Structures are given as C-alpha cells and as structure tokens.
Amino acid sequence: MQTSRLYQWSINIIMLIFTIFCVFPFVLLVSASFTDDLEIVRTGYKLIPNQFSTAAYQYLWNNSADIFRSYGITIFITFVGTLAGMLMTTMVAYPLSRKELPFRNFLAFYVFFTLLFNGGLVPTYLLYTNFFDFKNTILALIIPGLLVNGFFIILMRTFFATSIPTAVIESAYIDGAKEWRVFYGIVLPLSLPVLATVGLFYAILYWNDWFNGLIYITDKNYFSIQNLLNRILLDLQFLQSNTQQVGKGAELVAKLPLDAMRMAMAVIGIIPLICAYPFFQKYFVKGLTIGAVKG
Amino acid sequence: MVVAVSVLLYHKGHEGNINKGAGGMRVSTQARAQAPLEAESQAQTRLKNFKSTMKRIMKYRVLLLMTLPAVVYFFINNYLPMFGVVIAFKNINFADGIWGSDWIGFKNFEYLFKTNDAFIITRNTLLYNVVFIVLNTVIAIALAIMLNDIKNRFFSRTYQSLILLPYLISMVIVGYLVLALLDVGKGYMNNTILPFMGMQEISWYSETKYWPFILTIVSVWKGVGYLCIIYLAAIIGIDQEYYEAATIDGANKWQQIKSITIPLIMPVITIMTLLAIGRIFYSDFGLFYQVPLNTGVLMPVTQTIDTYVYRALINLGDLGMSSAAGLYQAVVGFVLVLVSNYVVNKINSDNALF
C-alpha cells in the first residue's frame, strides 16, 4: 500500500485533532475541579488553573455522607445486578445454543421479540409502581429494564454455538456428566472472553444508569451516584433560570456545592470507569466488535 | 474479523435451518406414523407426537429449567407491559384501575394529534436521528480508514483508547461536561474561546437556535468512537492482497477506498444503519433531557417523543396522552424495523437481520 510521509502526517494530525476533541471536555472538568473557587467566579473554568486548589475535594471528603451512601448504592447495584444478570443470561443463552432443545425456536423468538417491540414507559411504570410497589426501593434500581438484556443473550448464544465444539459436549455425556455439570464444568470455562465482555457491559450499564432512579426514586436515601449528580446539576439550573424566587433560591444555592465541587463530584463519578478501562479494554473492544448486534 | 456480520448472518442462517429442521422432522414423524397403517386415526398420531414431545421435554428438563429465570423476567418486564397498551384507549382513573376504566377509543390519540405537539416531537425525533445516523456513519468510516492506515502502532492504539472514552460515561456526566463548556458566566466558550475570536458572549441555555448543532456535536462526540471501532474491525479483516493488486495497477488511495474498502465493509455498514433506522423513532432520552439540563425554553428544539412521554407521565401525570404517544412510537418503530428489513432483504438478503 502506498503510504507517503505526507499522507502519514496528515492522517495523524486529523486523528490527533479528533482525539483532542474527545478528551478536551474531560481535561476541562478535571482542571476545573482543582481550581480555586474564587478564580472560577472571576475568570470561569480554565484549562490550566492559576491557583491550584484541592479545597473542593477536601470539602467533599468532610461532607461525604451523601456521596458515600450514593457510592455504596451504586457499587451494590452494579455488583448484584451484574452478577444476577450474568447468571440469568448465561443460563438462558446456553440452552438456546443447543440444537436439540425442545421449543428452541419459540424461545429464541421470545427473546428476540423483546428487542423489536415494547409496551412503552407508561405501562412499565404502572406495573412497577402499582403492581410491584418498587417505588423508592433498591430493587427499582436493579430490576426494571436492566436485569436481562436480549442482545447479550443472542451474543452469548452465538458464542456458545460457534466456539464450543459439539464433540466436547457429547463426549462429556458419554463420560456420564449431567447437563448442569457440562454447563459449569465445560461450557463456562471455555467461554471466558464472552463472559468478560458481557459482564463488563452489564457493569457499565448499571454504573451509568440514572433513568430508573429518575422515574422510580424520589427519596434521597436511595439515590445512586448518577442520581445524586443529576439532582445537583438540574437543581442548580432550575434555580438559575428562575431567579425571580430569589429569597428561597439564594438560600438553596448557598447549600449547594459550589462550582469546583460540582466538577469534583463529576470527576469522582467517572474515576472508577477510567480506572477499570485499561484492564478491560482488550475485552471491551472485542465485545464491541461481536456486539455489533447491540446497535 | 467481521465478527459483527458473522454473528448476525449466523443468527439468521441458523434460524432458517432450524425452521427447516423442525418442519422436516414433523413431516417425517407423520409420514412414519401414517405410512404403515393408513387406518390409524389422527387422534392416535397426535397422541404419539404428544408422547414424543413429552419425552423430549423430560430428557432436556434441566436445560428448559435453566431458561426459566430469564423467561419469567422477560414475561414481567417486557410482555406484561405490552398488554398495558390498552391504557392508550382508556380514560384511566385509579379508582377503577386499568381494567375497570372506561374505553374511550382513539380519543387520546385525537387529543395528541390535534395539538402541535405530535408534529413537533415527530419532526424533532426524525430529523435529529437522520442527521445523527448520516454524520456518525460517515465520520466513523473516515476515521476507521485513517486509523487502519496509521503505521505507528503506539499512536494508533492511543487514538483508539481515547476516542472510546466518551462512549463509556453516562449522559449525566455529559451534562456536566457541556455545562463546563457552555455555562453563561463561567463556561469555557464564553470566557475563553469567544473572547479569543472577538465575539460577544452567548447565553447558550436560553437560545434555541444553537441547540440543533450542540446536540449533533454531542451525539458525534459520544457515538463515533464506538462505531469507528466496529468499522475498524471490519476493515482490518480485508485481505491485503486486494490493495497490493490495486497498487500494482496504479490505483491511488482514493480509488482504493472507493472500490475496495467501502464495498467490502458494506455488509457492516448496512447492518449498523439498518439497526439505527429501526430505532429512528426512538431518541436517546439522556441526550435530549440531561444535556440541555431539562430547560423549558429550549423545548421546541429538544423535545422528542421519549422526553414527551416522560414529561407527560411524571410532570403532568397525564397517563392517556403519555401512553398514546408511547404506543404511537412503539407501533411506528416496529413497522419501520419490518419495512427496513424487508427492503434490505429485497436488495441483498445476506444483509437482512431476519
């Protein structure tokens, strides 16, 4: 392939510009969180702070009850949700990968159809609030919409069907192994790449989810970290755009974290993702490529 | 390589085979049952089929039981709400419950389409999605081609990691990032970029005219990395010999892209675009709700079907209107999936989803 120096230079420069475009807001966020609050009021958020300050983080550390509780809730739902979701997903994906399963077509369609059509927000909301009474419970952050995902089932089933030789499973039967034993003794150990990928996807979905909290949670004690961040952001915007109610507004503003702290909180919200990213990147990219079904 | 495609093609081909397989089996059991004893009644055949099915169920009972948790979950989370679409045809009041409330036919839809709302939310949803699909696809393919050509592996890997970063974070955080840039008093645009370019400050969160651009930029920023990696995986899988032959024939870079790269990754492009078109009636709720910070003034350009359904339900408590809009979205969206799949099936059945 013809690769002149000029061409190499130009594609590198274009990619560099796009990469900066992607990363720039993060850099701004982090440096804003380390800027002295008075300086922000005077000159706005800057890429390089004149007065470096960790005051925002110190303040958050000293007033961390809300943050720690929300963090705890997010960690809990991410852990429990990912574990339960993975268990249910593998347990349905494996039988679907076996050709001799009775009702296989029906079950495959049953899973696939959930991707094509849904009842919409209103019936789902009524089901989970009136019928199940999930409002303001931790279950509302784990179960609705997130727990099992049809795309991941199809992804995993395809992996099981294409990557695990039927001969291996058959010989296990001949040796007298039972279904369950074949599943956890042979199939799962051979499927670590797809398990890591799907597990990562579930974990990110749970870590980033704010929608369930937005519709099912009104009690601050059950806020996940995303809901806490969301509330702080939207409250402030609401106060700024309704300055008529100054009396009440000013009082509330005084209680809210100031600018640097707001940014520091957002930083705290993304740090775990950034830390986990390098470890998972190998699987993540692989998952994205198989995961094209996800759309 | 093209794992993406192979998954889908596999999925499709497999379903086809299975259908044939099951059909064939049914015929053969019937044939076996009927051929020797013409007189054997149909009832007996049915009994035999039933017995053999029961036998298969017993044999694979463990596998069937394993599917149970997910089957139950889907029944509750996905299938039960589908019955709830009747709400759209009812005048819901909580005293009578969902089933006891009066039927009012298409009244809710009449109200919805009488107002300007239905037009605005449909227009916004469709226009934004069309722009997002076209821009994201074109930019992602362009970047993927460039990434593939970059010789320095370290640079290439670094770019790949960093452009994926926005894909990982939640829309709430994106809201913070956009605010850091666009905040009226403290934002980077008003304090640094606009003064540098000698322009006046802009009150970003109260001017509708900028938001179509802002939302498009955010969509590209967040979505292109993911698409780019998918296309890159497809491009990496192309046999180098095509390019070598083309170079010997004197084809330049642009001709190679046009006649080799693009045609060979077309299946992936079709599938990704098809999936996006199937979702064209759905908008990214977070993008249109969190990024403009739920600002009322901006609603003419930020209200989509999803935000409308949410606001009608949570803020106004208008169940009828909200579920009518939701059903409208679900039905049209479903039809669009079927139509786009049908069209692709006609053009090239290998690329269709099902």
Name all domains of chain B by residue range, CATH numbers in brackets.
2-59 (no CATH), 108-351 (1.10.3720.10)
Subunit contact A98:B63, Cβ cutoff 8 A: yes
What pLDDT score was predicted for residue A277? 78
Would you call B276 an interface residue with chain A, using a CB distance cutoff of 8 Å? yes
Q: Does the pLDDT at position A294 exceed 60?
A: no
Global ipTM: 0.87
Chain region(s) in chain A for CATH 1.10.3720.10: 63-294
**Residue whose tokens read 């997130």:** A146
What pLDDT score was predicted for residue B296? 84
What pLDDT score was predicted for residue B279? 84
Chain A nearest-CA residue for B293: A234
What predicted TM-score, i.e. pTM, was given to this entire model?
Answer: 0.84
CB-based burial of residue B95 (10 Å sphere; 0-12 exposed, 13-18 middle, 19+ buried)? exposed
For chain B positions 303-332, those within 8 Å of chain A (CB to CB) are: 306, 309-310, 313-314, 319, 322-323, 326-327, 329-330
Q: Which residues does A126 contact at the CB level (< 8 Å), separation at least 6?
A: B84, B87, B98, B319
Please, are residues A143 and A170 in contact by the beta-carbon 8 Å criterion? Answer: no
Which of B7, B81, B268 is nearest residue A124 as measured by Cβ atoms? B81
How confident is the model over A208-235, as pLDDT tens digits? 999 999 999 998 899 999 999 998 888 7
Which of B71, B163, B179 is nearest residue A18 as measured by Cβ atoms? B163
What pLDDT score was predicted for residue B26? 45
- Min Cα–Cα distance to chain A from B42, Å: 23
Q: What is the rounded distance in angstroms from the CA atom of residue B234 to the CA atom of residue B1?
A: 6
Estimate the crossing angle of helix A225-241 against helix A65-97, to 10 degrees. Answer: 120
Q: Which residues does A12 contact at the CB level (< 8 Å), separation at least 6?
A: B150, B152, B155
Would you call A40 an interface residue with chain B, using a CB distance cutoff of 8 Å? yes
- What's at A210, amino acid-wise? W
Subunit contact A102:B229, Cβ cutoff 8 A: no
Q: Does the pLDDT at position A287 exceed 70?
A: no
Would you call B162 an interface residue with chain A, using a CB distance cutoff of 8 Å? yes
DSSP single-letter state for residue A147: S
Lowest mean pLDDT among A134-148, A197-211, B6-20: B6-20
Class of domain A63-294: mainly alpha
Mean pLDDT of A256-281: 80
What pLDDT score was predicted for residue B125? 93
Q: Does the pLDDT at position A186 exceed 50?
A: yes
What pLDDT score was predicted for residue B353? 65
What pLDDT score was predicted for residue B39? 56
What pLDDT score was predicted for residue A84? 96
Closest CA to A127 of B328, B306, B83, B101: B83
- Min Cα–Cα distance to chain B from A234, Å: 6
DSSP string, A191-235: THHHHHHHHHHHHHHHHH--HHHHHH--SGGG--HHHHHHHHHHH
The list of chain B residues with pLDDT below 50 reads 1-31, 33
Would you call A257 an interface residue with chain B, using a CB distance cutoff of 8 Å? no
What pLDDT score was predicted for residue A253? 55
In whole numbers, what is the pLDDT of chain A averaged over residues?
Answer: 84
Subunit contact B7:A29, Cβ cutoff 8 A: no
- Min Cα–Cα distance to chain B from A62, Å: 23
DSSP single-letter state for residue A52: B
In the Cβ-directed half-sphere of A65, how many Cα atoms lie within 13 Å?
2
